[in-house]
Structure 1
Amino acid sequence: MSNSISARMAQALLACAMLLSSYAEAADKLAHVTILATGGTIAGSGASSTTTVGYTAATVGVNQLIAAVPELAKVADVKGEQVFQIASENMTNQHWLTLAKRVNTLLAQADVDGIVITHGTDTLEETAYFLDLTVKSKKPVVLVGAMRPGTALSADGPINLYNAVLLAASQEAIGKGVLVALNDQIHAAREVTKTNTSTPDSFKTPELGMLGYIQGNKPYFYRASTRKNTADTEFDVSKLDSLPQVDIVYGYANVNPVALNALVAAGARGIIHAGVGDGSLAAPVKTALIAARKQGVLIVRSSRVGQGIIARNGEANDDELDFVASDTLNPQKARILLTLALTRTTDSKEIQRMFYTY
């Protein structure tokens, strides 16, 4: 009898050992994803469960964000790091440099397979595009945010974070450039934009369309951006401590050159003109832009419309004026590309090439 009991105990111990081994093996197979938290609505809180506007952003730390979504442990080995704790309207060039350097440091490590960055939605598309041009790895980098604070009914932050980690841990996301994941959708950093002040479906890619969906714990890609990104770009911020000043001037009826002249006087090295229509230039502003260019300021024609290509030599003779056309980049993203371009060259023809490359 004792031999029989001993045999059963041995079998039970062996079964437990095999089970533990299988758990360990499963854990080893999980991708290692680091969540870099920067604040924003996804880390915000409101006075009540129905507070979806007028809440306070950037009040919840990264460890609390992770703890609120225990399902993350099923899709990745997750670690968190609080990089900033700000509302994203306060994002600056210095924040971007710090973030890009940290992302590149982490992605160079063998024990990091992907990065998720939690971010406020107001400037999320800008940070995403900056990283799309400065990250030096093909490993997935996914930006995620929320349109409602975590204290609200039907808060979108937890599911968005879960989907972002799942995406960053996936093989499908490798080499796709920096991605944005909200509302069960996958977007390219270059093309996505915020389109609504408050609704959860705010992030869209006008005309060109999103890259795919996240459904049933799996990303589905239907297209990819054709523009160079991440490891294939020529931009290196590893040794930069600052970025050149580039500002945006908005076009409108009855516009005057006061704002433009003030920005040039304040030291702007580049100006994005967010013109009406196809980047049209009102006469008084055109004169001021020509004068600024003669002073060495780089001028890029963009549009406030938000969709379409800016035709070079269309609404202005760019060749004659030595201006640059922004292609399909909206003003805020054109500013980012011109800022990085100016760390490489002041040749307008080279910068135009960059706008058609990235």
Structure 2
Amino acid sequence: MTSSTPARPSDSARRRGSARPIAAAGAVTLAVVGTLALASPAAVAAPDKPVVTVVATGGTIAGKATGREAFTSYRAGTYTMDDLLAQLQPEIAEIADVNVIQFGNKGSGGYTISEFYDLTRTVEQALETSDGVIVTTGTDTQEEFAYWLDLTVQSPKPVVTTGAMRPWAAGDSAGEAPVFGADGPANLFTAIRLAASQQTYCFGTVLMLNDEIHAAREVTKGNATMNDTFQTRLVGALGWVAGSDIYLNRAPARVLDCGTDAWATPFDLSTISAGDLPAVEIMYNYQAASGAGIRAFADAGATGIVTAGTGAGGISADASAARRDAVARGVWFVSTTRTGSGAVESTGEGIIAGLDLLPQKARLMLMLTRAFTTDIEQARVWFDTVAAPSFDMSAYADAGPEPTPSEEPTTEEPSGEPTTGEPSEEPSGEPSEEPSGEPTDGPSTDAPTGVTDEPSDTSSSPAGAASGGSSGGPLAFTGAGSVPLVLGVALVLIVSGAAVHGHRRRARHLTMTA
């Protein structure tokens, strides 16, 4: 499917685009505040138990070991999810109403791109009725499962991927002969807790393993066998789970678009078929690498190739020559680094900067891009924005002039004489305050300086919005322009866990201890 070509952003706007309307989600939150303020307390129903769907694909978490001590000797994808969940009862029932879709039962590396397409459609269908979805996978390619879902799922509801580094058990069922120190039960239980909490609403897909929460775009498997295998280099995990408590210290940048059309990616799979997804390959560069791999991929029909280059994306002379020939044949390239972190920004004819995407994730992004456009300039825009969302708060640095008082302060003389400044109102030309403490005929001067009966001229900029003024503040639509700012903040905090779209009515149900 072909998209129209947008204007190429300037260098200063690359990867960031224009500043996102950070107040968008806040406006939705405040709208709910206004609604709740008008509702009768008796009309607010008690929260229901969250509904969570587990979409099982197999992997080590469903693996059967050769013995209770066999951490690395097992057959992946043996036990069903119903069997696994039965071992978590009755505790799991206290957290959520859980249902199961047994999508498959094999190792993560055994899934095809066509099955990835079906997985997205399955997850989206489940989210129509569930509050969140867990996808269990093998850890070998779990980061690719997660990033694929992050790019393609159009619902902002929580999607959490999890798995295990050790098989569940060694018996005929998951309840027999449990493996020593198996991490699968805790990972599955905690992932359900996280999804039910709704705390990653609008985060896109996250990966939860070993009590750590990672962004799908950034996480990678860093160790072949250890339980703490998943890492987010440079920036670290989004947060962690400690018992029944969930801590989130940062968020993916796309949360700034929560509640707007801009939150969803362009890759709506309901508009294409699985057959529209093209072949995209990866070429790994090394000392004196041959260009034979690139030539073979192009000959086999690849429409895109990701180069995992040395340093900032470099490839050998022979590989460069092969790339030029492939570009002439219409193949698109994405340049990335094999180092594991750092950005590659160089481009050229037929070449897209992969920025800090890992090669295996750049491949998925390029595959979707090629499926949804034939314009490489559009592809570059998507790699700069969709594939590399970034916080940019610079637009809020110059939010407008400093607020000024609406009237001059007055000074009271010790002798009780009229003030030396001009009073705000003088009935019949007389001073507003009588000596010897008698009541005044004019307006009271007990009100705080600068407060008037007229609404202040607040700006529609972020600074004005934060002020809570009746003309430009976020509470203007409720008629609460004179409400103190602290009250407005308190109202926002009360509903911040349940405001966006009205989907988060169950947000804190998870506070009970399993």
Asked if 1:128 is matched to 2:160, the reply is no
Counterpart secondary structure, 1:63: helix
Q: What SS class does the counterpart of residue 199 from structure 1 fall into? A: coil
Residue-by-residue CA offset, 1:281-338 (whole Å, 9 max, x unaligned): 21000000011011000011111111011122xxxxx23x331110110000000000
Aligned to 2:224: 197
Greater Cα offset, 74-83 or 341-350: 341-350
Tell me the residue number matched to 1:241.
274
Secondary structure in 2 aligned to 1:97? Answer: helix
Question: Which residues of structure 1 form unaligned runs of 5+?
Answer: 1-24, 313-317
Name which one, 1 or 2, has greater alpha-carbon Rg: 2
Cα deviation, residue 29, structure 1: 2.1
Deviations 1:207-234 (A, max 9, x none): 1211001112122110011148995211
**1: CA distance between counterparts of 2:107 and 2:114?**
15
User: Is the CA contact (8 Å cut-off) linking 1:135 and 1:231 kept in structure 2?
Assistant: no
Aligned to 1:206: 233
Q: Which residue number corresponds to residue 327 of structure 1?
A: 355
TM-score, structure 1 as length reference: 0.88
Is the counterpart of residue 346 in structure 1 residue 364 in structure 2? no
Q: Which piece of structure 1 moves more, 180-189 or 63-72?
A: 63-72
1:166–1:123 CA distance, 2 compared to 1 (3 A): same
Question: How high is the sequence identity, in percent, across the aligned residues?
Answer: 41
Q: Partner residue of 1:217?
A: 244
* 1:175 partnered with 2:208: no
- Aligned residue runs from structure 1 range 3-14, under 5 A: none
**2:315 is matched with which residue: 281, 301, 309?**
281
Question: Following TM superposition, by how much is the alpha carbon of 1:95 offset from its aligned partner in structure 2, in angstroms?
Answer: 1.3
Aligned residues: 325
In the alignment, what sits opposite 1:143? 161
* Structure 2 residue matching 1:302: 3-state secondary structure: strand
One-letter amino acid of the counterpart of residue 94, structure 1: S
Q: Name the structure 2 match of 1:11.
A: none
Match of 2:269, SS? coil
What's the counterpart of residue 12 of structure 2? none
Which runs of at least 4 in structure 1 moved beyond 3 Å after TM superposition? 227-231
Q: What is the 5 A alignment of 1:1-358?
A: 29-70=48-89, 71-109=91-129, 112-151=130-169, 152-227=179-254, 232-238=264-270, 239-242=272-275, 243-312=277-346, 318-319=347-348, 321-357=349-385, 358=387
Contact 2:131 2:196 in 1 (8 A): yes
**Residue identity opposite 1:69 in structure 2:** L
Local SS of the residue matching 2:157: coil
User: What is the alpha-carbon distance in structure 2 between the residues aligned to residue 327 and residue 68 of structure 1?
Assistant: 43
Give the Cα–Cα distance (whole angstroms) in 2 for the partners of residues 232 and 218 of structure 1. Answer: 29
Structure with greater strand percent: 1
Contact kept, 8 Å, 1:66 with 1:80, in 2: the verdict is: no
Alignment-mate amino acid for residue 122 of structure 2: R
> Which has the larger displacement, 330-339 or 343-352?
343-352
Matched-pair contact (CA < 8 Å) for 2:214–2:232:
yes
Q: Secondary structure at the match of 2:74?
A: coil
Q: CA deviation at 1:156?
A: 0.4
Asked if the contact 1:166/1:218 (under 8 Å) is kept, the reply is no
- The residue identity in structure 2 corresponding to 1:240 is S
1:348 shift after superposition: 2.0
Question: 3-state DSSP class of the match of 2:197?
Answer: coil
Between the aligned partners of 2:229 and 2:134, the Cα distance in structure 1 is: 20
Q: Distance in 1 between matches of 2:168 and 2:73?
A: 13
Q: Distance in 1 between matches of 2:315 and 2:88?
A: 50
CA contact (8 A) 1:116 1:164 kept: yes
Is the contact between residue 89 and residue 122 of structure 1 (CA under 8 Å) also seen in structure 2? Answer: yes
RMSD: 1.6
SS where residue 332 of structure 1 aligns? helix
- 5+ residue gaps, structure 2, are 1-44, 170-178, 388-514
**Separation of aligned partners in 1, 2:254 and 2:323:** 29
User: SS of the counterpart of 1:301?
Assistant: strand
